[in-house]
Structure 1
Amino acid sequence: MNGVALAMLDDPLPARLARIAATVLAWLLLTPVPSQAAAPASYAREREAFVHEMAARHGFERAELRALMQGARYRQAIVDAMDRPYEGKSWGAYRALFVTPERIAGGRRFRVEHAALLRQAERTYGVPAEVIVAILGIETNYGATLGQYPVLDALTTLGFAYPRRAAFFRKELEAFLLLAREEAVDPSSARGSYAGALGLPQFIPSSYRAYAVDFDGDGRRDLWHSEADVIASVGAYLAAHGWRRGEPIASPATLHGPLEDGLEVGGKRPLVPSLSVAKLKAAGVEPERALAPNARAALIELDAEEPEYWVVLENFYAITRYNHSNLYALAVYELSRAIAALDR
């Protein structure tokens, strides 16, 4: 035992506690604390210009909006998250994140609990219940994870300090403030994803304004608390982006020999279905499912333990309008089939 420790043992208890407290305080003061990265120099300038634009274009009161915007924080973690999206993973790794026994079980429970609403939405928009449920499962685990970031922080960070996509996120910030005014949402307390996506279906603000529906008839489109609005809004979004009622989504495929020269094969990025199934079959692509010969389709190849080939159709492409990734659409498809297995 060293001399300091021996001396402390000889002290009366109050003096000993005071020495311990002083030692701990000194250690805390001397230990470096990771700091939040500072916003770029242009951040404040861009924020002020945005306030003036919103006042001129949409009639926002400058002082109130300036005070709101000054309460937003630049967050380096949001920029970092944008640079490492889930969709950068392999198909095998991506699938393992989202098509899990827990998410399948959660989807089946959600489908049973909201069966009447899902049937009503399916009749209205033509989108199968299990597809709507699967999207909610992948987006927020059926509402369990709605996002940890203040939406204002996310959209100001990306709109004013992420040059690669600043124009896009600046428009989303504009849409969010308009949405907050239209739907009585408190913009200072709303939370969402690192990209500013909102509610159970994780709509970006412009999509919320364009495609969300008031399915429960209460005069508001509430994607946080109204299961009716949430379920119907997913169906409405897919219907508006080309969903074809009663048609298939995708089929695994095998190749018979080398592919025909010039046949385009998609990877992670979506490919517009532009070839007939008959043409793909003539080129040596054999879907496992029976598909209409004249259906418009595309061939994609994904990296798993072994390369996987899929013939994807127009409903698959509609899902990629929700998230522009073949990995996402295929995870929705596989999760939806596992949820629908409840019926089989």
Structure 2
Amino acid sequence: MLRKLISSPLRCLAAAVAMSTPLLASADYSQHDKAAEFVDKVVEKHSFDRDWVVNILQQAEKKQSIIDAMERPAESVMTWARYRKIFIQDSRIKQGVKFWQEHADTLARAEKEFGVPAEMIVGIIGVETRYGRNKGSYRVVDALATLGFDFPRRSTFFLGQLEQYLLMVREQDFDPLSFKGSYAGAMGYGQFIPSSYRAYAVDFDDDGQADIVNNPVDAIGSVANYFAEHGWRKGETVVTPAVLSEPVDETLFNAGLKPVKTLAELKLGGISSNQALDESMKATAMKFDGAKGDEYWVGLKNFYVITRYNHSSMYALAAHQLSQKVAEAYRSEVAQK
């Protein structure tokens, strides 16, 4: 969910050169060998106007930089120490406090209606886009078409997301060519892919549109709704440092994101929580390569819910820790007033 662009004058020059060469035809996705099947499917299944769909594909552009980004190694080769440093920064914390101050009433309403803490909502939006500052520079239609038609390894998934995108813009009366997002087609403050947009985005200000791209009120409500729909438990612990006792069963660490062992079972393997918790609760044990050596954590149900947003334990821990840092700074400022 991160991106880079060349300067505007160079983009204009590159576009002018491309328009003067036969290569332009390759950018017309309506002529792709998979296009006819896709168009037939969505027209028959959803009663789309055929010309409307074809016109969108004609204007979608292949972006090699998107394919290159998908091919790059992700966080699987990154240490927790390095990953954490990307997201837990003084600047991001200060921006989070400002975002909370600007949207305090909306965050309070979202917390009340959905049972998701304001700081967790702020933490997610902070990790995803720096509170709306980095929502993405690729046209969503370009990202989805490029990956759907020209990235075979995940073609089925992204053609499905392109289908969901067409439904989304029709339902919300959006211009399909105007939205920008990540290289993977995620949109808005909270970076929802089209299927998540349709399933979880809400019109939180009752203006007739669920707009998480331009409207922070809808974005806040939508992130809260996403967490609530995935089973967030109000008031429960998210994650705690682990306490180890010999002998430790190393096979229990990083065995999966979903909690399947109870705290009692982990304790038998030498892994305990540093909090007094119900030992029948299910949890997952994690070991990370931290800045000062190995770190050991125990994640509970709410931690797993965060991983439903992004399937990564490091992501979930970073989002949680950012949320706590922002909450501490925000409440300190409130107390001083």
- Superposition TM-score, scaled by structure 1 size: 0.84
Is 137-146 or 56-65 further displaced after alignment? 56-65
Choose the corresponding residue for 1:127, options 110, 116, 128: 116
Identity %: 46
Q: How many residues are treated as equivalent by the alignment?
A: 307
1:41 and 1:219, CA in 2 relative to 1: closer, same or farther beyond 3 A? Answer: closer
Judge conservation of contact 1:42–1:161 (CA < 8 Å) in 2. no
Partner of 2:46: 58
Counterpart AA for 1:276: T
Task: State whether residues 216 and 226 of structure 1, in contact with CA within 8 Å, keep that contact through their aligned partners in structure 2.
Answer: no
Letter in 1 for 2:111: E
Q: Which residue of 1 aligns with 2:75?
A: 87
C-alpha separation between the residues in 2 aligned to 1:178 and 1:42? 18
Q: In structure 1, how many angstroms separate the alpha carbons of the residues matched to 2:137 and 2:275? A: 41
Residue 225 of structure 1: how far off its partner (Å):
2.5
CA contact (8 A) 2:252 2:266 kept: no
Q: How far 1:86 moved relative to its partner?
A: 4.3
Q: Pick one of 105, 119, 137 that aligns with 1:116.
A: 105
Question: 1:259 offset after TM fit, Å?
Answer: 2.0
Q: Is the 8 A contact 2:62 2:142 kept in 1?
A: yes
* Equivalence map 1:283-302=2 (5 Å): 283-302=269-288
- After TM superposition, list the pairs within 5 Å mapping 1:209-228 onto structure 2: 209-228=198-217
CA distance, structure 2, for counterparts of residue 313 and residue 327 of structure 1: 14
Q: Which residue of 2 aligns with 1:192?
A: 181
- Alignment-mate amino acid for residue 101 of structure 1: D
Q: Which residue of 2 aligns with 1:76?
A: 64
Alpha-carbon deviation of 1:284? 1.3
- Tell me by how many angstroms 1:116 deviates: 1.0
* CA positional deviation for 1:40: 12
1:32 maps to: none
Return the match for 1:319 from 293, 303, 306: 306
Provide the residue aligned with 2:4 in structure 1: none
Question: What is the CA deviation profile of residues 18-51 of structure 1, one whole-angstrom value per residue up to 9, with x for unaligned ones?
Answer: xxxxxxxxxxx9xxxxx99x77999811123212
The question of whether the paired residues in 2 share the 8 Å contact of 1:273 and 1:314 is answered with yes
1:275 is matched by which residue type in structure 2?
Answer: K
In structure 1, give the amino acid aligned to 2:126.
Answer: G
Moved more, 246-255 or 198-207: 246-255
- State the AA in 2 paired with 1:315: N
- SS in structure 1 at match of 2:188: coil
Q: How does 1:126-275 map onto structure 2 within 5 Å? A: 126-260=115-249, 263-266=251-254, 270-275=256-261
1:307 aligns with 2:294: yes
Query: Runs of 5+ in structure 1 lacking a partner?
Result: 1-28, 30-34
Q: Tell me which residue corresponds to 2:327.
A: 340
> Could you tell me which amino acid in structure 1 is paired with residue 145 of structure 2?
T
Counterparts of 1:321 and 1:265 in 2: how far apart (Å)?
Answer: 19
Report the TM-score when normalising by structure 2.
0.85
Provide the rounded CA distance (Å) in 2 between the counterparts of 1:178 and 1:41: 18
Q: CA deviation at 1:151?
A: 0.5
338 and 321 in structure 1: CA distance in 2 versus 1, 3 angstrom threshold: same
Contact 2:27 / 2:60 at 8 angstroms: preserved in 1?
Answer: no
For residue 196 of structure 1, give the secondary structure of its aligned residue in structure 2: coil
Q: Secondary structure at the match of 2:290?
A: coil
Deviation at 1:85, TM superposition (A): 5.4
Q: Secondary structure at the match of 2:303?
A: helix
Cα deviation 1:116-172 (Å, max 9, x = unaligned): 111111111111100100100011110001101011110011111111111111110
Distance 2:151 2:31 in 1: 10
CA distance in 1, matches of 2:105, 2:73: 35
- Secondary structure class of the residue paired with 1:300: strand
1:290-311 deviation digits (Å, cap 9, x = unpaired): 3332221110112234121110
